[in-house]
Amino acid sequence: MQDDERTLDLRDQPALDALVDAVRGTLAGDIGLLRRHFDVGLEGSAQAWRLTLTPTDPAVARFMRVVRIDGGGSEVRVVDTVEANGDSTHMTIGPAS
């Protein structure tokens, strides 16, 4: 079996770096980290909120149109990413088993 492990330097992958920071910043409650790459919008209540992250860096915006993160309280439940070409990714996060 061939080893398929690869290592990427996030400095060379601005869209991936921004996506990692979007999730990391949301989980940590770090608005400064989120604003490093995005215009930040928040709507809803403490029990059901949506964070909308729109890239501010043109290098990121070439690949990513918007990231929407839904959650409640301190939990992230859904991460939706819309790429610049219109493709989208939907990730649902459930409780650990």
Start-end of H helices in 1-97: 14-28, 31-35, 58-61
Backbone angles phi and psi of 33, in degrees to 5: -65, -40
Residue-range domain boundaries for the chain: 10-92
- List, for residues 52-84, the tens digit of each pLDDT value: 999 999 989 999 999 999 999 989 999 999 999
Three-state secondary structure call for residue 16: helix
pTM: 0.82
| CATH number listed for the domain at residues 10-92 | 2.50.20.10
Neighbouring CB atoms inside 10 A of 11's CB total: 7
- List, for residues 29-59, the tens digit of each pLDDT value: 899 999 999 999 999 999 999 999 999 999 8
